[in-house]
Amino acid sequence: MSNSNNYLWKMLVFVVAMAAPVSVVTFFLYSGEGFAFEDYWMILAAAILPALILYARLVREMQAVAFRMERAAIMSPLEGDDPTGLRTGLLPLDNLLLTMQQYRRVLQHMLREAQSRQDEAALLFDMLPDPVLVLGNRRRIRRSNAAANRFFNVPEMEGDLTRFLRHPALLKAVDAAYAGSDSGTRIEFTISDVVPRHVAAYIVNLKGESSEGHRLILTLHDLTESRRMQQMRVDFVANASHELRTPLAILIGALETLMGPARNDLEAHQRFFTMMQAQSLRMSQLIDDLLSLSQIEINEHSRPSDRVDLGQVLQGVINLLTAKSSELGKSIALQMPEDKVFVTGDFDQLTQIFTNLIDNALKYSREESEIRVEIAVAAREARATVIDEGEGIPEEHLARLTERFYRVDSDRSRKLGGTGLGLAIVKHIVSRHRGHLEIDSVVGKGSKFSVRLPLSGS
């Protein structure tokens, strides 16, 4: 009802505007000559009738313009048009629509170009090797690349930055960047995890404000590998120089004796050659263990993803050590569930774990004893336990057993061919698998070494 009233009022205003000048001019021209009002009304009606026809014509053309503009906005100009709307009228309808179609083509081209550039930028953003976060107001994460999602092990980063990073120095630098100072700041900090990670963060403030306020670019660079390599170099020099000093001293002493007083003593030759061979093998084993440990530490922050049959690993290790256990007069028994137990891990490194643990159990258990290996499943993890019947380990030594070159009895360990690195290697491999190593021991009864590993999905 309101639309019809508006239409009527607009029509009356248009008619009055068109007829009023004619009626006023006619009135003043003929009012002094005895002009009859009947004639005046006829002239007024003659002015109103064309105004009504013109108004109706303009309304029809405006409706046709609106209709064709709508069609031009959603259809291709090659798809044809309504033939009833192609008649030439009072308004330049065809020129208007042609101009609109040209603008439509330009806008479509610009939109395609913008979408293409946006897709390319998104692809490049996700291909960046370092984690990158785009922060909006109040530390809100607006966007993250694929490297950031992998770094924090989430499908997508959302919410406040403090959900993922809470280091005070980093948050202080972010707030300073919001305030407009310290743009391009570099912050180094450590993320506490099963394996601590050293990270360098770069903060850049994008000048100006977007529709959502201030924006920051936060880039993270993982320094864990480089820091570990630096520390490994220091540890290698210190530990290797300490552990190699004794066998080298024995070798040098044996050579000096063979070249001097025992030059012609054949019995001494045999004795010293045997000693030199043993010390050479010990140094070779030490170097092999050091290289193995360094390689494990380099990749410790990178979690393995293979699906491994834990029973198959243990059965392979037992088969490998069966000959040695027979020589020592000992036996190895494996107890495991009927169903296969699959864990997430690296087959070779898991083999290395249980080779070290079972070999240690053979070395330090009592004569004619049995080494038991048990597999159990609880919650979301598998537990593999190596149990020996040895002398046990005093409680004060348990916390330091996994340190490099730490030995409860140094002389006995060296005599049995140990390098002091076996449990350190086990610890780092277990850490890489995001598992746990537990050691329980009772003096005079024996020891239990348990490895807990996350189960693998089907």
The pLDDT, as a whole number, for residue 295 is: 79
Q: What is the rounded CA–CA span in Å between residue 269 and residue 267?
A: 5
The pLDDT, as a whole number, for residue 196 is: 81
Q: If you average pLDDT over every residue of the chain, what do you get? A: 79
Output 183 or 264, whichever has higher pLDDT. Answer: 264
The pLDDT, as a whole number, for residue 124 is: 84
The pLDDT, as a whole number, for residue 9 is: 74
CB atoms within 10 A of CB 176: 15
Token pair, residue 230, equals 């630096």
Token pair, residue 369, equals 């004893």
The pLDDT, as a whole number, for residue 451 is: 92
| Range with lowest mean pLDDT among 73-77, 154-158, 226-230, 304-308 | 73-77
The pLDDT, as a whole number, for residue 84 is: 47
Output 246 or 146, whichever has higher pLDDT. Answer: 146
**Proportion of the chain above pLDDT 90, given as a percent:** 7
Token pair, residue 454, equals 């996350």
Q: Is the pLDDT of residue 85 over 50?
A: no
Q: Which SS3 state, helix, strand or coil, does residue 384 take?
A: strand
DSSP 160: B
β-bridge partners, 450: 385, 438
Q: Is the pLDDT of residue 245 over 60?
A: yes
Instruction: Please state the φ and ψ torsions of residue 41, each to the nearest 5 degrees.
Output: -70, -30
Q: What is the pLDDT of residues 354-394, one digit of tens each?
A: 998 998 888 888 888 888 999 999 878 899 999 988 888 88
CB atoms within 10 A of CB 193: 12
Question: Please, where in the chain does CATH 3.30.450.20 lie?
Answer: 128-222
Contacts of 97 (CB under 8 A, 6+ apart): 65, 68, 69, 72
Distances (CA, A) of 366 to 41, 189, 333, 391: 134, 48, 16, 7
Region of residue 153 (left: phi > 0; alpha: psi -120 to 50; beta: else): left
The pLDDT, as a whole number, for residue 83 is: 46
Is CATH 3.20.20.70 the classification given to domain 224-302?
no
Would you give the end-to-end CA distance of the chain in angstroms? 68
Q: Is the pLDDT of residue 429 over 80?
A: yes
The pLDDT, as a whole number, for residue 255 is: 84
380: exposed, middle or buried (Cβ count in 10 Å: 0-12, 13-18, 19+): exposed
Instruction: Please state the φ and ψ torsions of residue 140, each to the nearest 5 degrees.
Output: -75, 135
Please state the rounded mean pLDDT for residues 218-242. Answer: 77
The pairs formed by 413-416 with CB atoms below 8 angstroms and a separation of 24 or more are 414/282, 416/363, 416/364
Q: Is the pLDDT of residue 160 over 80?
A: yes
Please state the rounded mean pLDDT for residues 14-35. Answer: 67
Please name the residue ranges forming H helices in 260-309.
266-298
- Is this prediction's pTM over 0.75? no
Instruction: Name the band, by pLDDT with cuts 50, 70 and 90, for residue 27.
Output: low
The pLDDT, as a whole number, for residue 235 is: 66
The pLDDT, as a whole number, for residue 384 is: 92
Query: 135, 204 in Cβ contact below 8 A?
Result: no
Q: Is the pLDDT of residue 90 over 60?
A: no
Contacts of 353 (CB under 8 A, 6+ apart): 426, 429, 430, 451
Output 248 or 64, whichever has higher pLDDT. Answer: 248
Q: What is the rounded CA–CA span in Å between residue 7 and residue 4?
A: 5
Q: Is the pLDDT of residue 311 over 80?
A: yes
Query: 289, 297 in Cβ contact below 8 A?
Result: no
| Range with lowest mean pLDDT among 28-37, 140-149, 234-243 | 28-37
Distances (CA, A) of 72 to 46, 80, 234, 326: 39, 10, 74, 91
Instruction: Please state the φ and ψ torsions of residue 75, each to the nearest 5 degrees.
Output: -125, 155
Q: What is the DSSP string of 324-355?
A: HHHHTT-EEEEE--SS--EEEE-HHHHHHHHH
User: Which single residue is written with the structure tokens 């109706």?
Assistant: 56
Is CATH 3.30.450.20 the classification given to domain 128-222?
yes
Q: Is the pLDDT of residue 7 over 70?
A: no
Please state the rounded mean pLDDT for residues 119-142. Answer: 86
Please state the rounded mean pLDDT for residues 142-159. Answer: 87
Query: 300, 432 in Cβ contact below 8 A?
Result: yes
The pLDDT, as a whole number, for residue 385 is: 92
DSSP 417: T
Question: Please, where in the chain does CATH 1.10.287.130 lie?
Answer: 224-302
The pLDDT, as a whole number, for residue 183 is: 61
Please state the rounded mean pLDDT for residues 170-195. Answer: 80
Please state the rounded mean pLDDT for residues 93-104. Answer: 66
The pLDDT, as a whole number, for residue 182 is: 59
